[in-house]
Structure 1
């Protein structure tokens, strides 16, 4: 079983998450009562809906790892699950995403329907504020 499949199986048991069809139409998704939280696009790639505010708050930490890729202007972070540490990072970030959507809602912070799977330019390192 791949790390993404293990993560999907484990996260589907969390009481605040339910399996759903992803809005992008690719792979499998998990959603909370409010929004889609994660899209599992392949055996290795997961898009995680963190919110713009959470990405801004934790951007320095997110870009410090090669596991996380950010797209400027997107409220989704893409994680590449290659090793067990990536799996654990995903679990932590899903918890953060749930908290961000439940505790830090921002008026007008509405996600675009498209996750990062639809973006061609994914930037693996560097701050989003940099050119």
Structure 2
């Protein structure tokens, strides 16, 4: 079983999450009563809908991880699951996302924002850091 498949199996047991068709049409999704929370795309790529406010609040921590990719203007965070520890990071991000969505609506967040669909190229860490 891949790390992403294992993470999906774990998250699907959470009482606040249920499987759903991803709005982007790619992979599998989990949603809360407040909306889509996580998309499992092909391979080990996962998008988590954190909201703009949560991304701003935790941006320093998010950019410190080499597994995390932020796309400018997106309310979704892309996580590459290559190591077991990154599954723990995913669980933390999903918990943050659930909490962020409980307090929705918040300024600068738009319901149903499009995920970082991996058919489009996500900016590299160098681009995001200005390097």
Deviation at 1:42, TM superposition (A): 1.7
User: 1:54-100: CA deviations, max 9, x gaps?
Assistant: 00000000000101000000000000000111000000110000001
SS at match of 2:7: helix
**Matched positions, count:** 130
- Kindly tell me: are residues 71 and 111 of structure 1, through their superposed partners in 2, closer, same or farther at Cα, counting changes over 3 Å? farther
Deviation at 1:114, TM superposition (A): 2.0
CA RMSD between the two structures: 2.0
SS at match of 2:109: coil
Structure 1 stretches lacking a partner, 5+ long: none
1:30 aligns with: 30
2:19 aligns with: 19
> What TM-score, normalized to structure 1?
0.90
Note if 1:122 corresponds to 2:123: yes
- Listed as ranges, the matches of 1:87-102 within 5 Å are 87-102=87-102
- After TM superposition, where is structure 1 displaced by more than 6 Å over at least 4 residues in a row? none
- Listed as ranges, the matches of 1:1-131 within 5 Å are 1-103=1-103, 105-107=105-107, 109-111=109-111, 113-117=113-117, 119-124=120-125
User: 1:90-131: CA deviations, max 9, x gaps?
Assistant: 001100000011035304511454211154242425767x69
Q: Distance in 2 between matches of 1:45 and 1:96?
A: 18
> What TM-score, normalized to structure 2?
0.90
SS at match of 1:66: coil
Q: Distance in 2 between matches of 1:83 and 1:45?
A: 12
